[in-house]
Amino acid sequence: MSTTTDSKIRIQLENFSVTDEIEAMKKVSRNIGGITTFLGTGRELSKGQNIAQLNFEHYPKMAEKKLEEIRQQAIKDHGIIDMSIIHRIGPIEIGENIVLIVAVGEHRKETFTACEWAIAELKRVTPIWKRETTTNGEVWVQDTP
């Protein structure tokens, strides 16, 4: 699992710097005029329960493959210049970074739509699972049927 900003698709244990990731994407093209980011973070309250910790598990190879497919489709269908997607796995504390999507394009409009589509698609098709630790124990979250 690489922690450098070279790869545009990464699943990693370590935290990431939003600034570094944006700066890395700015180097992709001199034609970039708009950048939209989505940053997902660990929230304390879920369905009325206080969460002490989150833990993410993924299916190695398949998860990376799905994220790369999302990146390619976002570029093709939304007309953006490029996109990076970084998702953390392992234990995550409240307030910590979980997932970052950076969409870069010539204009803002396509980066907004690409970013919104990408996070929804990530949740729909990427084999990543979240386990919440609450005062009542641990539970696997199943957001989508």
Partner 1 sequence: MITIKFFASLKAIAEKEDEQIEIQNSISMDQLTDIISKSSPKMTDLLRNKKVMISVNQEMADSDTVIHDGDEVAFLPPFSGGSFN
Q: Which chain residues interact with partner 1 by CB under 8 A?
A: 40-43, 46, 56-59, 61-63, 65, 87, 98-99, 119, 122-131, 140-145
Least separation in angstroms between residue 86's CB and partner 1 is 12
Which CB atom, from 63 or from 74, has the smaller least distance to partner 1? 63
Which CB atom, from 6 or from 143, has the smaller least distance to partner 1? 143
Least separation in angstroms between residue 4's CB and partner 1 is 22
Which CB atom, from 40 or from 79, has the smaller least distance to partner 1? 40
Spatial contact of 125 and 114, defined as CB atoms under 8 Å apart: no
User: Which residues have C-beta within 8 Å of that of residue 54, sequence separation ≥ 6?
Assistant: 42, 91, 92, 93, 94, 98, 130, 131, 132, 133
H or E element that contains 75: helix 62-78
Least separation in angstroms between residue 30's CB and partner 1 is 31
Spatial contact of 58 and 144, defined as CB atoms under 8 Å apart: no
Which CB atom, from 28 or from 94, has the smaller least distance to partner 1? 94
Secondary structure (3-state) at 128:
strand
Residue pointed to by tokens 């409240």 = 94
Least separation in angstroms between residue 32's CB and partner 1 is 25
Least separation in angstroms between residue 120's CB and partner 1 is 8
Spatial contact of 105 and 81, defined as CB atoms under 8 Å apart: yes
